[in-house]
C-alpha cells in the first residue's frame, strides 16, 4: 500500500472516519459463527473475499529487526524481553543508525518491501525517538516502506513519526479485552487502544493484530477480531502470531493450538477485514509448508521474511523461496 503523506493529516483522519462510519460493525457472535462453519466452507468463503480485494497469488514480504532488545519494564506473559522474567535475555542498547540502515539495505536486496523496527520499551524517550526518526528517514531513502513498534506513544510522538515519513506503526491488541488481564497487568487494553487512536489521528497506517494460542478460548479469539475490525481507524496490516512459548516466561508451558484453529483465525480475519494485509507472523518457523499453504488459501497475504523475529527464530529465506516456487506465489 502506498503512503498517504500527500494528504493533510486532517484529510487523512476524515477519510478514516468516513470509512469507519460506512462499514458495518462486526459482533463477536457473528465472527464466532464464522469459526463454527465447516472448515472447507469457511476457507472457501475467505478465499472468495480475498480474491475480491487482492491478487490471490501475491504475498507481501516484510523484514523485522530488533533495534533495542531486552530490559522492558512491562509484564507481557509471552515476552522474553520483559525484565521481570528469567528468560536469560540481556538488556541491549539502541542500535546505531548506520547498523540499522545496513540491515535495511540487506533486507531490500533479499526482496523485502517493508522494513520494520522494534524496540523493547514501554514508551520511547524523546532522545531515543530522535534516533528512530533518523532510521525511518534512512529506510524511506532506500525506497522501502518503514514500520516501527516502540510501545505506547505519548502526545505528539505520532506526529513526529509521520513527519519523518513513517508508513506503518505496529501496536498489537494482542487478545480481546476479557482475556487481556490474564496475559498482561502492567498496562491495560485501553492503553493500547489509546496509542492506536493517536497513530490513526496522525495519518499513519495502523498495523495491529495479536497472538493466538495463549490459552484463550475461541470466543476470546472471535471477540479479539471484532475489536480489531471495529477500530475507529481499521488496521491495514494485521499480524496474526502463533504463540512461541519462550522459556522463563509465564506462558512457557502453554499447550499448542490446533493448527486448523489457527487457519480458522486467518480465514475469519480475512473475512472481517477484507482490505487489510493479513500477515503470518511469529510461529511460522515451526509450521509445515502444508499448513502455511492452507493459511495463504484462507487469505494470508503477508509474511515476515528473514531468519529472525526480534528474539525468536523465523523460517529461513531459502525455505521461503522454495515454498513460493512450489506454490507459484510472487513476492510484492
The residue among 253, 233, 298 whose CA lies nearest residue 37 is 298
CA dist 121 → 66, 118, 158, 190, 303 (Å): 11, 9, 15, 18, 24
Which helix H or strand E contains 240, and what residues bound it? strand 237-242
User: In the annotation, is 3 catalytic?
Assistant: no
Count Cβ atoms below 10 Å from residue 16 Cβ, excluding itself. Answer: 20
User: In the annotation, is 295 catalytic?
Assistant: no
Which residue out of 45, 114, 192, 207 is catalytically annotated?
A: 207
Which residue out of 45, 61, 114, 116 is catalytically annotated?
A: 116
* Cell of residue 201, nine digits: 489521528
Which residue out of 147, 270, 284, 295 is catalytically annotated?
A: 147
Which helix H or strand E contains 298, and what residues bound it? none
Sign, CA torsion 78/132/200/266: negative
Instruction: Report whether 210 contacts 241 (CB < 8 A).
Output: yes
* Cell of residue 214, nine digits: 495463549
Which residue out of 72, 114, 221, 284 is catalytically annotated?
A: 72
Which residue out of 61, 76, 221, 264 is catalytically annotated?
A: 76
d(Cα 171, Cα 239) in Å, to the nearest integer? 10
Which residue out of 79, 114, 221, 270 is catalytically annotated?
A: 79
Q: Give catalytic residue positions.
A: 72, 76, 79, 116, 147, 207, 279
Amino acid at each position: 500500500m502506498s503512503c498517504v503523506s500527500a494528504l493533510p493529516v486532517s484529510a487523512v483522519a476524515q477519510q478514516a472516519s468516513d470509512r469507519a462510519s460506512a462499514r458495518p460493525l462486526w459482533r463477536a457472535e457473528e465472527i464466532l459463527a464464522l469459526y463454527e462453519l465447516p472448515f472447507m466452507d469457511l476457507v472457501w468463503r475467505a478465499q472468495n473475499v480475498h480474491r475480491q480485494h487482492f491478487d490471490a497469488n501475491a504475498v507481501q514480504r516484510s523484514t523485522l529487526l530488533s533495534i533495542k532488545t531486552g530490559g522492558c519494564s512491562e509484564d507481557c506473559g509471552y515476552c522474553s524481553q520483559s525484565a521481570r522474567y528469567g528468560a536469560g535475555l540481556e538488556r541491549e542498547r539502541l542500535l546505531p543508525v548506520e547498523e540499522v540502515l545496513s540491515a535495511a539495505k540487506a533486507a531490500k536486496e533479499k526482496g523485502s518491501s517493508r522494513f520494520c523496527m522494534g524496540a523493547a520499551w514501554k514508551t520511547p524517550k524523546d532522545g531515543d525517538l530522535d534516533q528512530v526518526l533518523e532510521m525511518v528517514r534512512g529506510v524511506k531513502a532506500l525506497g522501502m516502506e518503514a514500520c516501527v513498534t516502540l510501545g505506547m506513544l505519548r502526545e505528539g510522538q505520532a506526529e513526529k513519526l509521520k513527519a519523518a515519513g513513517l508508513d506503518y506503526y505496529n501496536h498489537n491488541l494482542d487478545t480481546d479485552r476479557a482475556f487481556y488481564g490474564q496475559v498482561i497487568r502492567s498496562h491495560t487494553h485501553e492503553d493500547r487502544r489509546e496509542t492506536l487512536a493517536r497513530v490513526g489521528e496522525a495519518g499513519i497506517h495502523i498495523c495491529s493484530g495479536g497472538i493466538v494460542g495463549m490459552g484463550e478460548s475461541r470466543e476470546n479469539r472471535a471477540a479479539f477480531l471484532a475489536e480489531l475490525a471495529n477500530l475507529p481507524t481499521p488496521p491495514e496490516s494485521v499480524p496474526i502470531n502463533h504463540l512461541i512459548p519462550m522459556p522463563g516466561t509465564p506462558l512457557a508451558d502453554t499447550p499448542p493450538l490446533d493448527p486448523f484453529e489457527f487457519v480458522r483465525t486467518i480465514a475469519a480475519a480475512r473475512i472481517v477485514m477484507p482490505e487489510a494485509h493479513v500477515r503470518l507472523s511469529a510461529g511460522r518457523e515451526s509450521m509445515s509448508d502444508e499448513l502455511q499453504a492452507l493459511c495463504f488459501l484462507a487469505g494470508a497475504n503477508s509474511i515476515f521474511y528473514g531468519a529472525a523475529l526480534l528474539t525468536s527464530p523465523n523460517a529461513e529465506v531459502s525455505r521461503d523461496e522454495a515454498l513460493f516456487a512450489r506454490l507459484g506465489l510472487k513476492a510484492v
